[in-house]
Structure 1
């Protein structure tokens, strides 16, 4: 059992909160928590107490995690849209032995956090891309919210926005085609409606998508299903749970 943890916060400015670290130490809280064999520093700015507890109990992003652990196979090339704090890319890398993972994240505040998590876990097969995907190359506004998982390209609800940043946009179809992934994992807070129909999904073996009907509506959900079905991917009920849906290619 691992009893000592490395601390790479100094390598990635912005990935640690010294005041938070001091408070946690004073309260007797651990410097790191572990989930599915991956350690996460508890002084990460976005890591809230309930999230720490969920990580310890293997309950964080539970539906998406269970799907990914069952779908991703050894040697796969994986694309993750919406990397967050580096959770899913790390879990997949450590547990599924993919050949490579390409993680896309728009929120600049998350980039050092992701890099630190990867570094402290000796993860070397993940390529991190600070970018959005769109129809053409350019720039777009990204709305950062206090609850980082709710940050998105959508301006509403406006009262939760704490910052608006300009993020580079890469052409979606060409960018993903160049990676040629076997599996796509997507959790991008409603932007799935704009991004997924732009992609050539026909080469995927599987796609795991967290739907956000509160933003895209049932018509948007139908659009996602239609895009997947057109590419030969069908809804897989055994690998789906509520809003986290898995699409698999029929052999």
Structure 2
């Protein structure tokens, strides 16, 4: 019954909040601006309906504990980072975002919640060389992977994944990078990582590439603990608790 009523209730929230011109909503206790300049209508609607990054938020609530060291790649508008930062505590979260247009939105949401994770406005790849970033008007379609002719190609600086893992020593990796996850997780160093929360994009990468990535992770001792739509939670079975 609850499931059947979920969508109607979400639509009521959407229309009511639009009507009232709500400028801030709360998701899992995290305040999020719905009035930030450049925020696409689709993202604003998801915020009003409380469906924005719903699977990632739930998994982060389940996994992250005080003192855990967390690496997020693909901050979006800073919602998941704000939640993770509140849970793991000061100095434990590094969050990467390649789209320079999102920086004021992310920092605005951090300020709303009184959190100050380390935000790095750079891409993440395997070699740390500058990369072409395909910036779309719709932020959820922006990516290092070329996804459509409407995107603006810009060059952005990058850090190498292995260097980040070596320097930050995360026990938890959260990743939503619109298709580049298969490169990073198929080849990157995951020493010390106990949990991975990753959104996969088979429409971009193809399923075969994802299967190869998962086979490599299985070989490193990871197992899929949960699948929530396109979001996977992988746990390294022999890793014990996340790094602190």
Smaller-chain TM-score bracket: 0.7 to 0.9
Contact 2:161 2:188 in 1 (8 A): yes
Aligned to 1:153: 144
Residue 79 of structure 2 is aligned to residue 73 of structure 1? no
1:178 to 167, 171, 179: 167
Aligned to 1:247: 234
Deviation at 1:87, TM superposition (A): 1.1
Residue by residue over 1:194-218, the C-alpha shift from the partner in whole angstroms, topping out at 9 and shown as x without a partner, is 2222321131111011000011111
Q: List runs of 5+ in structure 2 lacking aligned partners.
A: 1-18, 239-244
RMSD (Å) for aligned C-alpha atoms: 2.0
Please say which of residues 99-108 and 131-140 is displaced more in the overlay.
Answer: 131-140
Separation in 1, partners of 2:126, 2:45: 39
Deviation at 1:95, TM superposition (A): 4.3
Aligned to 2:7: none
Separation in 1, partners of 2:107, 2:137: 21
Deviation at 1:133, TM superposition (A): 1.8
Aligned to 2:112: 120
Equivalent positions of 1:32-181 (< 5 A) are 32-95=24-87, 97=89, 100-124=92-116, 126-158=117-149, 160-161=150-151, 163-181=152-170
Q: List runs of 5+ in structure 1 lacking aligned partners.
A: 1-26
Deviation at 1:74, TM superposition (A): 1.8
Deviation at 1:227, TM superposition (A): 2.5
Deviation at 1:166, TM superposition (A): 1.1
Separation in 2, partners of 1:200, 1:136: 12
Deviation at 1:234, TM superposition (A): 0.9
Contact 1:77 1:98 in 2 (8 A): no
Aligned to 1:230: 219
Using structure 1 for the length normalisation, give the TM-score.
0.81
Separation in 1, partners of 2:126, 2:42: 37
| Count of residues in correspondence between the two structures | 221
Using structure 2 for the length normalisation, give the TM-score.
0.83
| CA 222–165 in structure 1, closer or farther in 2 if over 3 Å, else same | same
Deviation at 1:177, TM superposition (A): 1.6
Equivalent positions of 1:179-198 (< 5 A) are 179-198=168-187
